[in-house]
Amino acid sequence: MKKIMLVDDEQDQIFSIKTGFEQEYPNEYEIIGVESGKKCFKLLEKSVKPDLILLDIMMPDMNGWEVFDKLRADQSWKKIPVIFITARSDDLAANAGAMIADDYIEKPIDIKDLKTRIENVLNKSKK
C-alpha cells in the first residue's frame, strides 16, 4: 500500500481526496491528511515516511513553498517526491510549481487524474 501525505489547511479537500481514493482504489493507497506544515513535520519527525507528499501552496502560518524548502533542506526527507496542489491558477505559481516540485495540479482535483500523476511521479522517482 502506497502512503501519501496530503498537507492542506482545507478539511473539505482532505476529506474529498481521502474518500475518493478509498472508494476508487481501496487497498492501494493510505492517505494521511494533515492540516498544516507544522503537523506534516511532526509526523515526519515521528518516522512517518510517505511515498509522496501532496502539498497545498496557500496555507496559513507556513505556506507550501516554505514546507517544500524545509523538506529539501533535510537529508531524511529531501528525496520524498512532492506534488503541489493549489487553487492558484496563475502562470507564476504553475511554472514555479512544475519546475521545483515533481508535479503541480490545480484544484478542483479529479481523483483519476491525481492517481495517474501520483503513479507517474512514483515511477520516475524509482529510476
Q: Encode pLDDT of 22-65 as tens digits.
A: 999 999 999 999 999 999 999 999 998 999 999 999 999 999 99
CA separation for the pair 61, 51 (Å, rounded): 25
Q: What percent of the chain has pLDDT over 70?
A: 91
Give the single-character DSSP code of 109. P
Average pLDDT score, the chain: 91
- Per-residue model confidence (pLDDT) at position 79: 95
Name the pTM for this structure: 0.93
Q: Is the pLDDT of residue 100 over 90?
A: no
Closest CA relative to residue 32, chosen from 44, 45, 18, 42? 18
- Per-residue model confidence (pLDDT) at position 107: 87
- Tell me the domains of the chain and their CATH numbers: 2-58+67-109 (3.40.50.2300)
pLDDT range class, residue 94, cuts 50, 70, 90: low
- Per-residue model confidence (pLDDT) at position 77: 96
Q: Is the pLDDT of residue 127 over 90?
A: no
- Report the b/e string of 57-94 with b at 16+ CB within 10 A: bbbeebebbebbebbeeeeebeebbbbbbbebeeeebb
Q: Find the angle CA(9)-CA(63)-CA(119) to the nearest 5 degrees.
A: 75
Q: Is the pLDDT of residue 99 over 80?
A: no
Given a contact cutoff of 8 angstroms between Cβ atoms, the answer to whether 83 and 102 are in contact is yes
- Per-residue model confidence (pLDDT) at position 33: 97
CA separation for the pair 16, 35 (Å, rounded): 14
